[in-house]
């Protein structure tokens, strides 16, 4: 007995998946995956290039994000939309701290390198947090970011950080 491959999703099916991710409907997403498999979840995009992760992260659906991270490749975390914004940019713009933390700390993902990725406006996730006047998120991201200080560690191993607030301005 040979197993039939899952049916190919239609454009309407893809739209349904993206809407389910936007609204955080984990049960509908799981049913969709049961019907069509995991492969199409990675490739689906809306007309603006947004993936399931953009929709999920921008709306703060942590439980759904945790599920999706088990079925999509970690590389999808750094895939930008048409405006070059990643799911991290969207989570930051909408002040979703638990989602921001999950994206940056996801094992096997891009990690702190994700923080440095710039969108079309030239903003990193930290820049987006500052634009939204989201101090808590900007502070957390600054603490996690990779600093290429050219060996600028103190003798005790602590990194030397410039004085000032999160945007580097001297106080």
- The ranges assigned to domains in the chain are 11-144
Write the pLDDT tens digit of every residue in 134-150: 999 999 999 998 665 44
Region 70-87: what's the mean pLDDT? 97
Q: Which two tokens stand for residue 91?
A: 């989570």
| CATH for 11-144 (3.90.198.10, 1.20.58.340, 1.10.357.10, 1.25.40.20) | 1.25.40.20
Does residue 78 surpass a pLDDT of 50? yes
Q: At 2, is the pLDDT very low, low, confident or very high (cuts 50, 70, 90)? A: low
pLDDT in tens, 14-38: 999 999 999 999 999 999 999 999 9
At 153 the three-state DSSP class reads strand
107: pLDDT strictly greater than 60: yes
């Amino acid at each position: 007995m040979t197993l039939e491959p899952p049916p190919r999703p239609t454009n309407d099916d893809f739209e349904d998946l993206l809407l389910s991710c936007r609204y955080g409907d984990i049960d509908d997403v799981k049913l969709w995956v049961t019907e069509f498999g995991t492969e199409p979840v990675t490739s689906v995009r809306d007309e603006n290039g947004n993936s399931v992760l953009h929709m999920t992260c921008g709306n703060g659906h942590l439980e759904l994000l945790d599920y999706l991270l088990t079925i999509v490749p970690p590389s999808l975390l750094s895939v930008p939309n048409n405006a070059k914004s990643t799911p991290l940019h969207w989570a930051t713009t909408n002040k979703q701290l638990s989602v921001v933390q999950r994206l940056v700390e996801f094992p096997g993902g891009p990690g702190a390198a994700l923080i440095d990725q710039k969108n079309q406006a030239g903003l990193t996730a930290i820049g987006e947090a500052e634009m939204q006047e989201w101090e808590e998120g900007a502070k957390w991201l600054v603490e996690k970011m990779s600093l290429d200080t050219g060996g600028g560690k103190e003798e005790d191993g602590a990194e030397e950080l410039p004085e000032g607030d999160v945007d580097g301005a001297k106080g």
